[in-house]
A and B are shown apart, each in its own frame.
Chain A
Amino acid sequence: MNVRRHGPIAGALAALWLALGAAAGPPVPAATVQADAPHDDFTALLGLLAARRHGRVSFTEVHEMAMLERPLRSAGELLYEAPDHLEKRTLEPRRESLILEHGVLTAQRGRRTHVLSLRDYPQVVPFVESIRATLAGDRAALEHYFHVQFSGDLGHWTLELVPVDATVAHTVRDIRISGAREVIHSVEIRQSDGDRSLLTIGAEVPP
């Protein structure tokens, strides 16, 4: 006989994580067709991006928040392996690592490790996907989560991403990614409450 007890209810509580931010959003609607999407340079850019299989670059990041007197600054390295391994190693001011692999986000900070399955946190997904899908040249993913606006040309381009999902749009106004050809220069995230973060990507780190 199978003797069992108690597990499901108590164990299920860790799902509370979900409720930490805004209430869970409704299911993400299907991508809307962008009237301005088929842009020759945009298509070419995605092709260039998709051709890059891996990269390792330095970064600096600045978070501006209304409740803070001065921005939070950090610096470190970004590692990317196509199509879905993304790693952010913060070296300053404190060591921290953030690994995204197959839709699971693992954050290691001091002694603590947090593991998030992105499927459980629909409101976090657009953030992560904005960078991952851009790096991978994954047009379908980009257009699933965002209204995508391409401006400039291959030599100097900007992607403006506006969240499709209403709950996400409630917290995030837009994400602007700029670069030259297959090299990404910066990712700026502007939140609806005026807070913003700017990730500036620096030189390639020799292996």
Chain B
Amino acid sequence: MSSAGRAGTVVWALAVLLAAAIVARATYVADLSAFLPRAPTAAQRLLVEQLRAGPAVHLIMLAIEGGEPETRAQLSLQLAARLRADPAFAAVNNGDAAQLQRDREFLLAHRYLLADDVTPQRFTVDGLHAAIGDSLDALAAPEGLLLKPLFPRDPTGELLAILDSLGPGAAPHTDGGVWSSPSGARALLLVQTRAAGSDTDAQQAACEAIRRAFAAAVTALPAAQRAAPRLLMSGPPVFAVESRAIVKQEVLRLSAVSAVLITVLLLAVYRSLPALVLTLVPVLSGALAGVAAVALGFGAVHGITLGFGVTLIGEAVDYSIYLFIQSGGDFRRTVWPTIRLGVLTSICGFAALLPSAFPGLAQLGLYSIAGLVAAALVTRFVLPHWAQGVRSVRDLSAAGEKLVRALAGLQRRRAAAALALLALAAAAVLYLQRGALFSRELAALNPIPLAAQRLDDELRADAGAPDVRYIAIASGTDREAALAAAQRLSGRLSPLVDAGVIGSFQSPTRYLPPRAVQLARQASLPTEGELRARLAAALAGLPVKPGVLEPFVADVAAARRGATLTEADLAGTSLAAATDALLVHTSAGWSALLPVAVSDGDLAPGALARLRAAVAAQDGAPLLDLKAEADALYGGYLAAAGRLALLGLAAIVVLLAVALRSAARVARVVAPLVLAVLTVAALLVVTHHRLTILHVVGMLLIVAVGSNYALFFDRSSARPYEGSVPRTLASLGVANAATVIAFGVLAFSRVPVLADLGSTVAPGTLLALWFSGLLARPAAAGRA
């Protein structure tokens, strides 16, 4: 090996060590955030911030099914007790008596600050008479048994009023003392993890802790009952862990399949084991460099980026194939300049992804650029030195000759005219389907299997908490201002509930009213002396014994003197989590979220207009339509991806113009690529695919990879030509086969984004090769 070779090897080894160290220390995430773009509007920013880091991101729904109801209830209690002892969980709610007791005590203790009914009128003689009369009626009804112990403290029924204001049917059912599904077939628990939503490792640890706790609770059962109960889990942390596992499995499985198939291909072509091993060196070096670059550039590597990594095999393997098959002569002089230009065009393509608002795409761009540069450098500066001993690669000139003749035959049959017709047909298909070309829903990118999404819907329905689509937002510069705005907004929404326009709504002010409201309620409570006097008058005609309501007098006096309620008072209750979830700190201040539940199904258009009007009348507060916003976001960055792809194409054209210095040659290189993209798009549309953002990226990849083929054809038709045309053609065939294998395997992925990419690029690069060959100047083929 020459000294240059030794130096190259040393640099390569050091770089590999460095990259390996970075890769080993990198963080890998797989939550949904890679699919969430940086958002343009304030409402969308709030949405995205919430989806990335909001309280909902920490929520895990658990269900226990199978076995006897008593067994499920016992397991629920056991599981909750174990999880409450684990610091990984911020809140564990299962509707058990102890938790409800704490919540109830909070509401009872602070009822005069919390109930909407607390007004000066309520505590006049008439007000007291009416309220106590109502409570006596309730005492005579079956539920009176539940109310009787409370009557001496709360004869005006404030606690009941608070509970009523939560709305019917908003809570899970209770069976055997714990929450259950309406049918009683499942016991339900709601758990909040403490770790950040994006910390998939911690979420995974939390999910495992839940499974272990459940297994331990089951083990504690009598042997006969152990078999039946099953644990079901859903929620964003579960999805993040699950999608990471799926992506990981898929990456391993697909990489393995691709590697085996490409190995078989290369062995069949090379008939040389050393050449095969050397071919993989640039590929693996590139992958390592790509992951290291993403880890450095983004802080964390998204799992899906590794999935895209399979794609790198597709292009990087080509370089060594060109080296081994074409370089009968001097690699550096004959093949390298074309590879160099190919790498540069690819970089132009991938660079267009870097400014994408979609972190997954930006990572893919950086990964591919770093990977391709590394692979090309290794092919140029390291591999030739190592390959000096490897001379046993089969000469493919004979096979190449056949290809050359076949190509010439096709070219004589007016291939260009046929391709022009094909382009017209493809354009016509796309034009006719122009309205339904793109999938407009973010759901198209969801990596979660349909079964898991269905389970999530079921558990939410079980918990009485269906998908919330509309959220009214009240904002302020600080918490207090946001709460005050939320209180005003509540006043506008309540009439809509009474009128049946909306089902119900939640507000953080339910458990944490603004201070001003609390003070007003406090001020409406009479002094002890006054209350006694009014009560004496109010009880005239009512059968309540004197002295029975002493606890009431004492409670009102205490409430009048007591401090106002702060968030600290909520600690230890399940209400704390509910309030936390609805009160969020944003970059611009504080926002109170008021989720609106729809009675059944979706809002009628008229109802939505009334809701919007009511919300907007409040200091122009926004009404967030989560589905519409999410889809609008997606639509926005789909359009952005389209623009970036066109920009990438333009950059490639400019680069080619500079390198080739001939409009005709640029056209000859670009035409087959554009034609391949058009044809693939038409094929996808004809086979009933709605195009997603990944299809658009795939088209960019067709141009990036396909430009290499086109450049080789361009080179082989340029004069003077020093390489072997048959060998060049053979190497392009092999390289393309490797690419089609890598992306074709991807097309069978269970992860939609990977499948979309594979099903676009595999046929696209194949077509790009054929079209490039057919459109190459016949002189090239003829001069073989």
Closest 5 CB pairs of A and B: A7-B465, A14-B171, A21-B146, A5-B56, A19-B100
Q: Are A7 and B574 in contact (CB under 8 A)?
A: no
Query: Which A residues are CB-close (under 8 A) to B192?
Result: 9
**Sample of 15 further A-B pairs with CB below 8 A, known A19-B100, A27-B176:** A1-B443, A5-B50, A7-B460, A7-B506, A10-B506, A10-B595, A11-B506, A13-B578, A16-B100, A18-B100, A24-B100, A70-B543, A74-B140, A94-B137, A124-B146
Interface segment, one of B147-155, B403-411, B420-428: B147-155
| Interface flag for B412 (CB, 8 Å) | no
Q: Compute how far the CA of A21 lies from the CA of B101 in the bound complex, rounded to whole angstroms.
A: 10
Q: Compute how far the CA of A9 lies from the CA of B159 in the bound complex, rounded to whole angstroms.
A: 19
Q: How far is the CB of A65 from chain B (nearest CB, A)?
A: 7
Q: Which residue of B lies closest to A121 (CB)?
A: B146
Query: Which A residues are CB-close (under 8 A) to B377?
Result: none
Q: Compute how far the CA of A122 lies from the CA of B145 in the bound complex, rounded to whole angstroms.
A: 12
Q: Count residues of B near A (Cβ-Cβ below 8 Å).
A: 93
Query: Which A residues are CB-close (under 8 A) to B146?
Result: 17, 20-21, 121, 123-124
Q: Which of B137, B176, B468 contacts A4 (CB 8 A)?
A: B468
| Interface flag for A140 (CB, 8 Å) | no
Chain B 57-76 interface 0/1 with A at a Cβ cutoff of 8 Å (1 = within): 00101000000011001000
Q: Main SS of the interface on chain A?
A: mixed
Q: How far is the CB of B243 from chain A (nearest CB, A)?
A: 11
Q: Compute how far the CA of A3 lies from the CA of B138 in the bound complex, rounded to whole angstroms.
A: 41
| Interface flag for A128 (CB, 8 Å) | yes
Contacts A/B (CB < 8 Å), 6 sampled: A9-B577, A11-B171, A12-B93, A20-B150, A27-B177, A123-B145
| Interface flag for A120 (CB, 8 Å) | yes
Chain A 87-102 interface 0/1 with B at a Cβ cutoff of 8 Å (1 = within): 0000000101010000
Q: Are A10 and B142 in contact (CB under 8 A)?
A: no
Query: Which A residues are CB-close (under 8 A) to B652?
Result: none
Q: How far is the CB of B147 from chain A (nearest CB, A)?
A: 7
Q: Compute how far the CA of A110 lies from the CA of B173 in the bound complex, rounded to whole angstroms.
A: 26
Most buried by B among A5, A8, A128: A8
Q: How far is the CB of B683 from chain A (nearest CB, A)?
A: 27
B488-515 interface (Cβ within 8 A of A): 506, 510
Q: Are A14 and B173 in contact (CB under 8 A)?
A: no
Interface segment, one of A51-59, A111-119, A146-154, A179-187: A111-119
Q: Compute how far the CA of A109 lies from the CA of B142 in the bound complex, rounded to whole angstroms.
A: 13
Q: Which residue of A lies closest to B577 (CB)?
A: A9
| Interface flag for A107 (CB, 8 Å) | yes
Q: Are A3 and B174 in contact (CB under 8 A)?
A: no
Q: How far is the CB of B550 from chain A (nearest CB, A)?
A: 11
Q: Are B142 and A128 in contact (CB under 8 A)?
A: yes
| Interface flag for B103 (CB, 8 Å) | yes
Interface segment, one of B160-168, B245-253, B388-396, B730-738: B160-168
If the complex has contacts A11-B465, A67-B151, are A24 and B174 also in contact, measured as CB distance less than 8 A?
Answer: yes
Most buried by A among B70, B170, B467: B170
A52-93 interface (Cβ within 8 A of B): 61, 63, 65, 67-72, 74
Query: Which A residues are CB-close (under 8 A) to B61?
Result: 8
Query: Which B residues are CB-close (under 8 A) to A172?
Result: 145
Q: Compute how far the CA of A122 lies from the CA of B139 in the bound complex, rounded to whole angstroms.
A: 18
Most buried by A among B50, B142, B443, B545: B142
Q: Compute how far the CA of A10 lies from the CA of B548 in the bound complex, rounded to whole angstroms.
A: 34
| Interface flag for A43 (CB, 8 Å) | no
Query: Which A residues are CB-close (under 8 A) to B593?
Result: 5-6
Q: Which of A2, A11, A112, A191 contacts B456 (CB 8 A)?
A: A2
Q: How far is the CB of B144 from chain A (nearest CB, A)?
A: 8
Q: Are B142 and A20 in contact (CB under 8 A)?
A: no
Query: Which B residues are CB-close (under 8 A) to A105?
Result: 142-143
| Interface flag for B464 (CB, 8 Å) | yes
Q: Compute how far the CA of A195 lies from the CA of B144 in the bound complex, rounded to whole angstroms.
A: 12
Q: Count residues of A near B (Cβ-Cβ below 8 Å).
A: 63
| Interface flag for B179 (CB, 8 Å) | yes
| Interface flag for A38 (CB, 8 Å) | no
Chain A 26-42 interface 0/1 with B at a Cβ cutoff of 8 Å (1 = within): 11000000000000000
Q: Which residue of B lies closest to A113 (CB)?
A: B168
Q: Are B468 and A12 in contact (CB under 8 A)?
A: no
| Interface flag for B770 (CB, 8 Å) | no
Q: Which residue of A lies closest to B464 (CB)?
A: A11
Q: Which residue of B lies closest to A26 (CB)?
A: B177
Q: Are B177 and A119 in contact (CB under 8 A)?
A: no
Q: Compute how far the CA of A11 lies from the CA of B581 in the bound complex, rounded to whole angstroms.
A: 12
Query: Which A residues are CB-close (under 8 A) to B446?
Result: 1-2
Q: Are A21 and B179 in contact (CB under 8 A)?
A: no
Q: Compute how far the CA of A120 lies from the CA of B181 in the bound complex, rounded to whole angstroms.
A: 11
Q: Compute how far the CA of A171 lies from the CA of B146 in the bound complex, rounded to whole angstroms.
A: 10
Q: Are A72 and B134 in contact (CB under 8 A)?
A: no
Q: Compute how far the CA of A122 lies from the CA of B101 in the bound complex, rounded to whole angstroms.
A: 16
| Interface flag for A25 (CB, 8 Å) | yes
Q: Are A27 and B468 in contact (CB under 8 A)?
A: no
If the complex has contacts A67-B545, A110-B134, are A14 and B163 also in contact, measured as CB distance less than 8 A?
Answer: yes
Q: Are A15 and B134 in contact (CB under 8 A)?
A: no
Chain A 135-150 interface 0/1 with B at a Cβ cutoff of 8 Å (1 = within): 0000000000000000
Q: Are A124 and B147 in contact (CB under 8 A)?
A: no
Q: Compute how far the CA of A3 lies from the CA of B457 in the bound complex, rounded to whole angstroms.
A: 11
| Interface flag for B184 (CB, 8 Å) | yes
Q: Compute how far the CA of A15 lies from the CA of B190 in the bound complex, rounded to whole angstroms.
A: 14
Q: Compute how far the CA of A22 lies from the CA of B177 in the bound complex, rounded to whole angstroms.
A: 12
A156-179 interface (Cβ within 8 A of B): 171-172
Q: How far is the CB of A46 from chain B (nearest CB, A)?
A: 23
Q: Are B548 and A7 in contact (CB under 8 A)?
A: no
Q: Which of A5, A11, A109 contacts B55 (CB 8 A)?
A: A5
Query: Which A residues are CB-close (under 8 A) to B170?
Result: 10-14
Query: Which A residues are CB-close (under 8 A) to B545?
Result: 67-69
Query: Which A residues are CB-close (under 8 A) to B11?
Result: none
Q: How far is the CB of A145 from chain B (nearest CB, A)?
A: 14
Q: Compute how far the CA of A21 lies from the CA of B214 in the bound complex, rounded to whole angstroms.
A: 31
If the complex has contacts A3-B630, A19-B101, A20-B104, are A14 and B166 also in contact, measured as CB distance less than 8 A?
Answer: yes
Q: How far is the CB of A61 from chain B (nearest CB, A)?
A: 7
Q: Are A4 and B578 in contact (CB under 8 A)?
A: no
Q: Are B175 and A119 in contact (CB under 8 A)?
A: yes
If the complex has contacts A1-B443, A5-B55, are A72 and B543 also in contact, measured as CB distance less than 8 A?
Answer: yes
Q: Compute how far the CA of A20 lies from the CA of B108 in the bound complex, rounded to whole angstroms.
A: 10
| Interface flag for B95 (CB, 8 Å) | yes
Query: Which B residues are CB-close (under 8 A) to A72?
Result: 136, 139-140, 543
Q: How far is the CB of A132 from chain B (nearest CB, A)?
A: 11
Query: Which A residues are CB-close (under 8 A) to B69?
Result: 27
Q: Which of B145, B151, B626 contacts A124 (CB 8 A)?
A: B145
Q: Compute how far the CA of A171 lies from the CA of B144 in the bound complex, rounded to whole angstroms.
A: 12
Q: Which of A67, A113, A117, A128 contacts B152 (CB 8 A)?
A: A67
Q: Are B93 and A67 in contact (CB under 8 A)?
A: no
Q: Compute how far the CA of A94 lies from the CA of B136 in the bound complex, rounded to whole angstroms.
A: 11
Q: Are A13 and B103 in contact (CB under 8 A)?
A: yes
Q: How far is the CB of B535 from chain A (nearest CB, A)?
A: 14
Q: Are B465 and A15 in contact (CB under 8 A)?
A: no
Q: Compute how far the CA of A124 lies from the CA of B147 in the bound complex, rounded to whole angstroms.
A: 12
If the complex has contacts A12-B172, A16-B103, A124-B146, are A6 and B134 also in contact, measured as CB distance less than 8 A?
Answer: no
Query: Which A residues are CB-close (under 8 A) to B581?
Result: 5-6, 9-10
Q: Which of B93, B145, B184, B468 contacts A9 (CB 8 A)?
A: B93
Q: Compute how far the CA of A9 lies from the CA of B463 in the bound complex, rounded to whole angstroms.
A: 9
| Interface flag for B614 (CB, 8 Å) | no
Q: Which of A3, A21, A71, A107 contacts B149 (CB 8 A)?
A: A21
If the complex has contacts A2-B456, A6-B595, are A114 and B103 also in contact, measured as CB distance less than 8 A?
Answer: no
Query: Which B residues are CB-close (under 8 A) to A2?
Result: 443, 446, 453, 456-457, 467
| Interface flag for B627 (CB, 8 Å) | yes
| Interface flag for B281 (CB, 8 Å) | no
